Amino acid sequence: MLDYDNLLKDLFINPQYANQTLSWASTDSMDRFAELSESEDQEVIDLVAQYTEDPVTYEFNSYGYRSIEFDEVEDNNFILVSGCSHTVGIGNRYKDLWWVKLGEELDLPVVNLAQESYGPDFMFYNTNLWLNRKYPTPKIAIYQHPVPNRVMKTYIGNEIKMFSDTDDMNDENIMHNCAFRHGMYTDALTNMWNALDVPCYHWGFQPDAEIGNVFATNCIHQIQGGDRARDDTHDGPGAHHNAYEYLLPLCKNDKIRNVYNRPDASLYDFTPDTARSGFEKKLAASITELREATGIIYD
């Protein structure tokens, strides 16, 4: 559970991890690894051997983020990233993380504002706090998106807890509402950074952020996952490398990309035939029905 100092209006703090160096964290526990060690599945046996030979260490800064300290960076000379446990890197070695590889290739330090189990509302609120407290301005901002139904619940005692609106992700009304908020947070984050001449990119492992793309003007890039981390739950080094390779050309592009029109379905030519997911097809069908009934073309 995170803490929030509403007097100083500073960033969210994770007291569980602040100033800690740990061998295990979250779902990547010693008990879980011992359980995996008993498996007779060859893939799991190989996984256990890999992390026995080269284990994971977590180093957290004074705010409880797997990051350098925030006062170690200067304006326009670092990358700012945020996301969920994938960007914290649960179950993964530091050297294998997508943002570590990106920072090394671009020769830029990285501030990581990710916290496990949190979603786009947390990323928006923490970014807003970063700006209001006048922390340094990054050269590039990148957000990794989880499933959209994660929202924050707050308490008077300054504690912030994540919860999902529903445990049933087949509840369409809930998921559509969450996807709408998800899309609006995506655009708000992009517009905030673009106003400061900072390129901002969004991505998620497939299919985590897919339906957020229906409502977001700015593209949430979908990147292929694959192998597993030490906890056999999160995506592993290969998936992080996929993210690094996908994002690198974007980060090397010196133009700010405010809007990304998908090649398979542009923002204004959105039909059931061009839609990808079942949710997109249903939304596209409703838009087509509305256009036929009113004669309106949105362009």
Which of 295, 1, 247, 236 shows the shortest CA–CA distance to 96? 236
By the 8 A CB rule, do 175 and 169 touch? yes
**In a shared domain, residues 292 and 249:** no
What was the pLDDT predicted at 261? 41
Does 207 sit behind a cis peptide bond, omega within 30 degrees of 0 on the bond before it?
Answer: yes
Compute the distance between CA of residue 179 and CA of residue 151 in angstroms, rounded to an integer: 11
For residues 203 and 75, give the distance between their C-alpha atoms in angstroms, rounded to a whole number.
24
Which stretches of the chain score pLDDT less than 50? 258-270, 298-299
Q: Are residues 146 and 97 in the same domain?
A: yes
Q: Do 71 and 164 belong to one domain?
A: yes
282 and 246 fall within a common domain: no
Predicted local distance difference test score (pLDDT) of residue 297 = 53
Instruction: Provide the terminal-to-terminal Cα distance of the chain, rounded to the nearest Å.
Output: 45
User: pTM for the complete prediction?
Assistant: 0.88
Give residue 73's pLDDT. 98
User: Cβ neighbours of residue 252 under 8 Å, at least 6 residues apart?
Assistant: 106
Q: Which residue has the tokens 């379905």?
A: 265
- Written as one letter, the residue type at 120 is P
CA angle 119, 257, 152 (to 5 degrees): 10
Q: Which residue segment(s) compose the domain that 104 sits in?
A: 2-260
Identify whether residues 285 and 162 lie together within a single domain.
Answer: no
Domain count along the chain? 2
3-state secondary structure 224-258: CCCCECCCCCCECHHHHHHHHHHHHHHHHCCCCCC
Residues facing 151 on adjacent strands: 163
Looking at the structure, do residues 182 and 223 belong to the same domain, yes or no? yes
Same domain as 285, residue 187 = no
Q: Which CATH number does the domain housing residue 112 bear?
A: 3.40.50
- Check whether residue 119 and residue 266 sit in a common domain: no
- 280 and 150: one domain? no
Please write the tens of the pLDDT for every residue from 125-155.
Answer: 999 999 999 999 999 999 999 988 888 887 7
Beta carbons of 225 and 206 less than 8 angstroms apart: yes
Q: Is the dihedral of CA 15, 18, 20, 24 positive or negative?
A: positive
Q: Is the same domain home to 153 and 66? A: yes
At 185 the pLDDT is 95
Same domain, 71 and 45: yes
The pLDDT of residue 177? 84
pLDDT of residue 200: 94
Task: Retrieve residue 40's tokens.
Answer: 């007779």
CA torsion angle for 229, 208, 141, 111 (degrees, to 10)? -30
3-state secondary structure the chain: CEECCCCCCCCCECCCCCCCEECCECCECHHHHHHHHCCCCHHHHHHHHHHHHCCCCEECCCCCCCCCCHHHCCCCCCEEEECCHHHHCCCCCHHHCHHHHHHHHHCCCEEECCCCCCCHHHHHHHHHHHHHCCCCCCCEEEEECCCCCEEEEECCCCEEEEEECCCCCCCHHHHHHHHHHHHHHHHHHHHHHHCCCCCEEEEEECCCCCCHHHHCCCCEEEECCCCECCCCCCECHHHHHHHHHHHHHHHHCCCCCCCCCCCCCCCCCCCCCCCCCHHHHHHHHHHHHHHHHHCCCCC
| Shared-domain flag, residues 156 and 283 | no
Note the pLDDT of residue 148.
Answer: 82
